Structure 1
Amino acid sequence: MSLRIAFVYDVVYPWVKGGVEKRIYELARRLAKEHEVHVYGYKLWEGRDEIEREGIVYHGTVGVDLSKLYVSGRRSPLPPILHSLKLPLRMKGERFDVIDCQASPYLPSYALRLLDMENVLITWHEFWGDYWLEYLGHAGSLAREVERGLFSFKRHIAVSRKTELDLLEAGLRKPIRVVPNGIDLPLVRWIRPAELESDFIFVGRLIREKGVDALIRALAEVKDELPDFRAVIVGDGPERARLERLAGEMGLGENVIFTGFLRDYSDVIALMKSSRVFAFPSRREGFGMVVLEAMASGIPVVTSDHPMNASRFLVEDGKTGFVVSDKKLSGALIMALERWKRMGHFASRRAGAYDWDRIVKELLSAYGVVG
């Protein structure tokens, strides 16, 4: 049975290459082989508002300057508002078998209500709840209620077990299906290691929540035992200048390399495959797709045991990596480096359960398609 499917979010891959947009892209391009697939988001391309790529129809709502997507390290509220106002005009008169609307940034879901759209399914990449108060202070109360308002929708998907548990604890009493993110295993295994070798590698947006400051401090302790180690930090963001200064202040100028943002996905995987340990001390993570990519690349993962870090559920502590506090980060990095071949072998096998082709079948099952 061929379906007409719409994915609704704000930013769109490949113009923005974060975890959520990558998930939508990987699912959409596989679904498009047998189904009609549409993606609604910001217009990040030149030309017409509607374009087709790889069998996917992209509908642009509002043009957004990516350099203004973040304000003071946080997502600007204006683009999602404009996107949500324009969304009903773009979708008016359309009929879909499934509308897979990503929970954040919340407002598009309410816009679909204005259209009285049926078959809307909310996909939760994380649930913040009371964390909104910590993140925004008193203003977080409104954001918390807007988030909880999505509980009124009938069908829900969580991308991680942690998010499912958070939703249940918050009082969601509607059916929830866990459909995780995945990885393109054949592609990862085809990519050759880079020439630049390293002992430790981090990949991600350089924002406070990623915990790269804790990583740099831990690496300063590692240097006491391994003075000649090399670490590569891949990514860009508002924290980059501060983190580069911190690395210099900690005496790591010769040990730590900041590559900046790498546009080519294969370049990122190649650097992972030429490293020995993936360091990911994130304090808040809805899933942690990059952790799966590191595991598929055959290297163990050291990540944070912070309660908001869902990627810790992907790591089997002591077997495919370590889940530790910031205080124990340096010791875990050294242990992972000592055991990286054996742990990397187990990590690679574990990653096999997350091949995108398998995830597509799980998603269709969640949509109600049998077989």
Structure 2
Amino acid sequence: MKIAYIYDAVYPWIKGGVEKRIYEIGSRLAKKHEVHWFGLQWGEGNLGDIKFHGVGKGKNLYKGGKRSIKEALYFASKLLLKFKGEYDIIDCQQFPYLSCFSAKFHSIIKNTPLVITWHEVWREYWKEYLGDLGIFGLQIEEVISKLTKNNVSVSRLTQKRLHSLGVTSEFIPNGIDFKRIQKVSGKDEEYDVIFVGRLIKEKNVDLLLRAVEIVKNNVPDLKVLIIGEGPEKERLISLASVLKLSQNVKFLGFLRDYEEVISYLKSSKVFVLPSKREGFGIVVLEANASGLPVITLNYPMNASKDLIIHGYNGFISSPTPSSLAEYIEISLFSGKKFKRNCVKNAKRYDWENIAELTEKFYERVLNGC
């Protein structure tokens, strides 16, 4: 097969979940097939066996902590003009939406099946995200859901929300490089609680800090590590100071080296993901593969909670500081007994398995099934 992936952010220059998925699946499929990636030019170099096509210069993906509409328009227009070649499958990521129309145009012109991979379905969240302009996002999302019959959902939550629009989709989850994670050793310095992610409002890290304030009453020398950058960082550092947690919480910033992140996970006892909204949550699986129980929150748009079996490989907490604090303490004092469960759960999501599922789905699309 000759496969074309479409997404503006490109791994390893940008390290988000969507681009990571394309890179991991694409790299494995490229061993047997010809794989291309059309995105923006963020750096120099190749993507291993994936043939990369930069359709324009990399632009700021976010403005004020939100995805830039201007960047989405720029990518869609560049893609419309510079998408070249003949392919058996075009797989376009639903984000940042407008590029799906460019992909549809080329799929019609070239008579090529279009697959749209859905990482989230926002629906009512559009109004919260864009205010009065949210109605346009809602309408665009509905139109895109009708562009093709070949849809992929990366989480059960997204699959359910697509189904509410009358759209069927294939569930193919994100994954992890399980064997690579097992080879990494932990750091010498140990931490009790760790968070890894972009420091934006949706990640809800302030709730974690307020829970840590409670846990500190019983564990005065509690050590918390926060890895990541983002527009909320300075506010969170200030909040930690106000809560008298400056000696307990360390803000490490963004780490470019993947194995270093895994090493910090392996030197910690519990991973907390307090997000209000997650399209999947690969880091949950990475934490489980590192032997850590994961605590996440019971928010309607948090797909990562589908990866947790409560009391088996982690906990699903109510979105309150007191509830989160309770599960942090339980995990700290009995987390070791969860290690085997966590690793066993994560192993099912190895990228090799996910790539095989993707390949079989593409074959069914080509056969008209």
**TM-score bucket of the superposed structures, by smaller chain:** over 0.9
Residue equivalent to 2:329: 334
Say which SS state the counterpart of residue 354 (structure 1) adopts: coil
Are 1:361 and 2:356 counterparts?
A: yes
Corresponding letter in the other structure for 2:133: A
Residue equivalent to 1:278: 271
- 2-structure distance, mates of 1:58, 1:330: 45
Say which SS state the counterpart of residue 236 (structure 1) adopts: coil
Q: TM-score, normalised by structure 1?
A: 0.94
Say which SS state the counterpart of residue 368 (structure 1) adopts: helix
Contact 1:129 1:170 in 2 (8 A): no
Residue equivalent to 1:15: 13
Deviation of residue 7 (structure 1)?
Answer: 0.7
2:236 to 240, 243, 259: 243
Residue equivalent to 2:299: 306
Say which SS state the counterpart of residue 18 (structure 2) adopts: helix
Residue equivalent to 2:95: 104
Are 1:193 and 2:181 counterparts?
A: no
- 1-structure distance, mates of 2:131, 2:62: 18
RMSD: 1.2
Write out per-residue CA displacement over residues 170-205 of structure 1, whole angstroms, 9 at most, x where no aligned residue: 222xx4110000000110000000122100000000
Are 1:146 and 2:140 counterparts?
A: yes
- 2-structure distance, mates of 1:290, 1:184: 12
Deviation of residue 52 (structure 1)?
Answer: 3.7
1:6 to 4, 7, 25: 4
- 1-structure distance, mates of 2:353, 2:42: 30
- 1-structure distance, mates of 2:47, 2:251: 33
- 2-structure distance, mates of 1:203, 1:53: 25
Alignment of 1:257-276 (within 5 A): 257-276=250-269
Corresponding letter in the other structure for 2:253: G
Are 1:218 and 2:216 counterparts?
A: no
- 2-structure distance, mates of 1:170, 1:218: 37
Which deviates more from structure 2 when the two are superposed, residues 52-61 or residues 234-243? 52-61
Contact 1:7 1:101 in 2 (8 A): yes
Say which SS state the counterpart of residue 366 (structure 1) adopts: helix
Say which SS state the counterpart of residue 61 (structure 1) adopts: strand
Say which SS state the counterpart of residue 311 (structure 2) adopts: coil
Residue equivalent to 1:343: 338
Residue equivalent to 2:57: 63
Write out per-residue CA displacement over residues 85-138 of structure 1, whole angstroms, 9 at most, x where no aligned residue: 11122224x211111110111111101233324211000001001210121121
Corresponding letter in the other structure for 1:231: V
Percentage of pairs with the same residue: 44
| Regions of 4+ moved over 6 Å | none
- 2-structure distance, mates of 1:132, 1:170: 15
Q: TM-score, normalised by structure 2?
A: 0.95
Corresponding letter in the other structure for 1:316: I
Write out per-residue CA displacement over residues 4-46 of structure 1, whole angstroms, 9 at most, x where no aligned residue: 0011011000000011010111011111111100001111124
- 1-structure distance, mates of 2:46, 2:82: 15
Are 1:158 and 2:153 counterparts?
A: yes
Contact 1:215 1:329 in 2 (8 A): yes
Contact 1:324 1:332 in 2 (8 A): yes
Are 1:114 and 2:105 counterparts?
A: yes
* Equivalenced residues, count: 359
- 1-structure distance, mates of 2:333, 2:230: 31
Which deviates more from structure 2 when the two are superposed, residues 254-263 or residues 117-126? 117-126
Are 1:83 and 2:75 counterparts?
A: yes
Write out per-residue CA displacement over residues 267-300 of structure 1, whole angstroms, 9 at most, x where no aligned residue: 0000000100001111000000000000000010
Deviation of residue 336 (structure 1)?
Answer: 1.1
Structure 1 unpaired stretches of 5+? none
Say which SS state the counterpart of residue 7 (structure 1) adopts: strand
Corresponding letter in the other structure for 2:162: L
- 2-structure distance, mates of 1:289, 1:113: 28
- 1-structure distance, mates of 2:363, 2:171: 14
